[in-house]
Amino acid sequence: LPVDVRRDIPGTAPGPVSGDAGAGVTEVGNNGFAGCDPASLRMAVGGVLAALDVDDARAAYRAIALANPGGLGRAESQDVSALPEVTLRAAMALAAARDSVARQYADGYAEIFDEGLATLCATTGPLAAAVQTLFLGFLAGRPDSHIVRKLGSGVAQTVTAEAAEWHARLQADPAAGETVAFAQWDEALKRAGINPGTSADLTVCALFAAALTRPGAVGIAPDQTWHGMCIHHIGIGPFPTSDTRITLPPRRAW
């Protein structure tokens, strides 16, 4: 999700939030965060997106140039290799049809709020299983932009079709994600160098939004994650511990 960093780092993007981005935020003492109303968060995100300007676009283009991702290709208008002449959101809108991350800027992160939060907040089982279902849902819903850029639309369409089958299986039986067959499919993708990175980006973004709206529900134990690090509303690491405390930023920063 876009954040307001200009207040802390002069000359960087994106711009300041318009309106009261802190509306709906609830604090619990000084060592916890009870969450904010999803509608308020969505409105705050919309305020950030609406405030993006040409300078933000130029800063983002510089960041893309430094990252130098492969498979970007060329665009007829506002290509990342040239100096942008429109706002960051307008530039993202031009790429929205071919890039799912760009589409979030254009659509106000609609997929994150409408699909991602709905999936995560509706779960009644382990969060890890919900994340797996969410990731497969994103991957099954549309060809992964990263795969398209790196390997072409044919490979991306094949992976999307396979993900749709697995997504349907998991909805019928959540244990399907723990089978040998599922692990073999995962390994086959890795061996082929296929990385559904955009679907992973959307999944992480949805988790972040869920952590802001339902922080107590977003937690994964270390033994449920790939690198043995847990995910908790206070951060990512070997948490939680009884003496771990956080200090919330000023209300206006939310």
Q: Please spell the DSSP secondary structure of 135-188, one letter per residue.
A: HHHHHHHS--HHHHHHH-HHHHHHHHHHHHHHHHHHHH-GGGGGSHHHHHHHHH
Tell whether pTM > 0.85.
Answer: no
For residue 68, the model assigns a pLDDT of 77
Structure tokens at 24: 């709906």
Q: Is 235 helix (H, G, I), strand (E, B) or coil?
A: strand
d(CA 66, CA 5): 19
Structure tokens at 143: 């060809």
Mean pLDDT per block of 10 residues along the chain (254 residues) reads 42 41 43 70 95 95 82 72 90 92 96 91 77 94 95 97 96 90 95 96 92 71 52 45 38 36
d(CA 7, CA 168): 45
Report CA-CA distances (Å) from 207 to 21, 199, 247, 249.
19, 12, 21, 20
Q: Please spell the DSSP secondary structure of 110-128, one letter per residue.
A: HHIIIIIHHHHHH--S-HH
In degrees and rounded to multiples of 5, residue 123 shows phi and psi of -70, 145
For residue 19, the model assigns a pLDDT of 38
For residue 18, the model assigns a pLDDT of 36
For residue 99, the model assigns a pLDDT of 92
For residue 227, the model assigns a pLDDT of 52
For residue 192, the model assigns a pLDDT of 96
